[in-house]
């Protein structure tokens, strides 16, 4: 039986030795690399069965390495796990968005490693298999003591020296983190004290020559406030009237199209080459693509009137068939957090620094329902208007179809696009497509 092969990429010797020992216990042959660049050179010659890669390394970091590996067709199918002390659902989501299968903690126990390998089907399952949730891949965050204890299983002067280096580095990181946290706490306490202190009293002028305050500024401020309120009310009323006129115009266009079709020549003449019907057939032959701005419900806004107009053109054909409405969700590079909310990342931000890469309809973004009340009412009205002629099929589509491809990530040399480049493609792919399928 040919042994499985694993590649461990980490700039820490003790971390590489610790994970290599656990993998060798599972009958794996283990190769190691100190940097992501060395790992990419290795993959040009050898194809391992699984890759474990650290996040923070000199030169190319772990996320950039995952992008480069997944961007190469020769290595894109090799499963990758982040081998790091990073934790949290946000980090796990970022890793999976870039192509990693999951996260393995640096304090992982032998059972954790075997469970991950079973999940990847690289080792045999137990006699009574258990369903392992993807979250179980993300082990408990490593502690310095656990890492040191694991490394000391192989005693010797070289290992002792490595342990000293690791402990010293951990102490420096801990001291820096405590100092930064202390400065933040002091700053917040000072801010709270300033807010709690009463405002200094304003000295009042005394004596017979104290100036008298004119009421003119107060009258001017009041007049400006009233004017702003009146203008705001007029603007709101104007927008309401504009929306009403747009709706009436769309209904008028639909009615006019139907009348033009029905008052024209007889069906036999139309089939022989009527220009009105021929133009309508040519118009509906291609899909109608309507872009959806980020943050808007797909089936709402201008997409309602687009559906009305498209159905009106199809009805002119007087031919049975199906109007297919499909919504596509773009994948956006976002900044923010689950607590504060997410927004489009700054255009100059490297793609690898996105806080989250998610589809526009992902529940984590807290987006509203995909379909507005106006769209639902229009759909009901159109289905009732053409019950024997048209079927309107509304659904969700996946993939890019007629959309734009996203920028390439990785390659040789590795390329990392900006958030602006990535989101430009995402905005094109965030759309609703309407097609006509005549009955056969």
Using one digit for the tens of pLDDT, what is the confidence trace for 328-357?
Answer: 888 889 888 877 888 899 999 998 889 888
Does the pLDDT at position 275 exceed 60? no
Predicted local distance difference test score (pLDDT) of residue 123: 85
Predicted local distance difference test score (pLDDT) of residue 397: 83
Across residues 59-76, what is the average pLDDT?
A: 93
> Do residues 305 and 323 touch, judged by C-beta distance below 8 A?
no
- Say if residue 324 is in the same domain as residue 415: yes
- CA-nearest of 105, 97, 101, 96 to 78 is 101
Residue at 216 is within a domain: no
- CA-nearest of 131, 133, 108, 130 to 52 is 108
**Per-residue pLDDT tens over the stretch 207-236:** 555 455 566 667 667 767 767 776 677 777
> Do residues 298 and 361 touch, judged by C-beta distance below 8 A?
yes
Going by C-beta distance under 8 Å and a sequence separation of 6 or more, which residues neighbour residue 88?
A: none
Residue at 229 is within a domain: no
Cα-based distances in Å from 4 to 10, 123, 267: 20, 9, 71
Q: Domain of residue 266: give its range.
A: 246-438
- Say if residue 51 is in the same domain as residue 161: yes
Return d(Cα 376, Cα 45) in angstroms, integer: 57
- Say if residue 266 is in the same domain as residue 161: no
**Final residue belonging to a domain, choices 169, 185, 207:** 169
Residue at 118 is within a domain: yes
- Say if residue 161 is in the same domain as residue 263: no
- Say if residue 261 is in the same domain as residue 378: yes
Which two structure tokens, joined as six digits, stand for 219?
Answer: 């009258």
CATH number of the domain encompassing residue 134: 3.40.50.2300
Does the pLDDT at position 299 exceed 70? yes
* Predicted structure pTM score: 0.39
Confidence tier at 316 by pLDDT (50, 70, 90): confident
- Say if residue 48 is in the same domain as residue 165: yes
- Residue 132 gets which letter from DSSP? P
The number of domains in the chain is 2
Residue at 192 is within a domain: no
> Do residues 407 and 417 touch, judged by C-beta distance below 8 A?
yes
**Per-residue pLDDT tens over the stretch 14-30:** 999 999 999 999 999 99
**Lowest-pLDDT range, 3-17, 62-76, 105-119, 264-278?**
264-278
Averaged pLDDT score across all residues of the chain:
76
Residue at 332 is within a domain: yes
Residue at 138 is within a domain: yes
Determine the length of the chain: 440
Confidence tier at 279 by pLDDT (50, 70, 90): very low
**Final residue belonging to a domain, choices 169, 190, 222:** 169
**Final residue belonging to a domain, choices 113, 139, 169:** 169
- Say if residue 274 is in the same domain as residue 411: yes
Return d(Cα 72, Cα 42) in angstroms, integer: 13
Residue at 196 is within a domain: no
> Do residues 342 and 334 touch, judged by C-beta distance below 8 A?
yes
- Say if residue 274 is in the same domain as residue 410: yes
Confidence tier at 173 by pLDDT (50, 70, 90): low
Residue at 426 is within a domain: yes
- Say if residue 390 is in the same domain as residue 258: yes
Whether the bond between 413 and the residue before it is cis, its omega within 30 degrees of 0, is yes
Axis-axis angle for helices 62-70, 89-98 (nearest 10): 30
> Do residues 99 and 66 touch, judged by C-beta distance below 8 A?
yes
- Say if residue 153 is in the same domain as residue 250: no
Confidence tier at 392 by pLDDT (50, 70, 90): very high
Across residues 269-278, what is the average pLDDT?
A: 38
């Amino acid at each position: 039986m040919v042994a499985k092969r694993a590649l461990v990429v980490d700039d820490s010797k003790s971390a590489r030795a610790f994970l290599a020992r656990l993998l060798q216990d599972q009958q794996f042959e283990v190769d190691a690399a100190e940097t992501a660049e060395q790992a990419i050179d290795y993959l040009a010659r050898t194809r391992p069965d699984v890759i474990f890669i650290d996040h923070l390394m000199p030169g190319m970091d772990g996320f950039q390495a995952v992008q480069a590996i997944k961007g190469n067709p020769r290595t894109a199918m090799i499963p990758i796990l982040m081998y790091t002390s990073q934790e949290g659902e946000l980090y796990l989501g970022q890793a999976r968005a870039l192509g990693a299968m999951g996260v393995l903690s640096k304090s992982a126990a032998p059972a954790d490693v075997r469970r991950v390998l079973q999940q990847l089907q690289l080792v045999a399952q137990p006699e009574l298999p258990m369903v392992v949730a993807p979250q179980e891949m993300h082990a408990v965050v490593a502690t310095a003591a656990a890492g040191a204890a694991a490394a000391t299983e192989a005693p010797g002067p070289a290992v002792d020296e490595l342990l000293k280096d690791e402990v010293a580095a951990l102490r420096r990181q801990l001291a820096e983190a405590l100092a930064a946290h202390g400065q933040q706490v002091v700053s917040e306490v000072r801010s709270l004290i300033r807010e709690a202190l009463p405002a200094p009293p304003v000295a009042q002028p005394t004596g017979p020559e104290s100036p008298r305050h004119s009421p003119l500024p107060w009258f001017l401020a009041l007049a400006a406030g009233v004017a702003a309120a009146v203008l705001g009310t007029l603007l709101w009323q104007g927008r309401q009237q504009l929306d009403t006129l747009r709706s009436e115009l769309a209904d008028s266009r639909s009615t006019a199209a139907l009348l033009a079709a029905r008052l024209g020549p007889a069906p036999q003449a139309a089939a022989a080459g009527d220009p009105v019907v021929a133009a309508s057939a040519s118009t509906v032959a291609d899909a109608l693509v309507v872009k959806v701005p980020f943050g808007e419900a797909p089936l709402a806004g201008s997409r309602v009137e687009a559906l009305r107009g498209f159905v009106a053109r199809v009805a002119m054909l007087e031919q049975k068939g199906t109007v297919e409405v499909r919504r596509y969700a773009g994948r956006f590079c976002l900044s923010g957090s689950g607590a504060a909310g997410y927004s489009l990342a700054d255009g100059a931000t490297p793609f690898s620094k996105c806080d989250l890469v998610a589809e526009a309809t992902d529940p984590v973004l807290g987006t509203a329902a995909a379909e507005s009340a106006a769209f639902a009412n229009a759909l009901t009205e159109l289905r009732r208007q053409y019950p024997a002629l048209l079927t309107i099929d509304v659904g969700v589509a996946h993939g890019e179809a007629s959309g734009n491809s996203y920028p390439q990530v990785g390659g040789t040399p590795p390329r990392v696009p900006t958030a602006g480049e990535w989101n430009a493609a995402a905005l094109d792919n965030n759309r609703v497509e309407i097609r006509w399928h005549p009955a056969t």
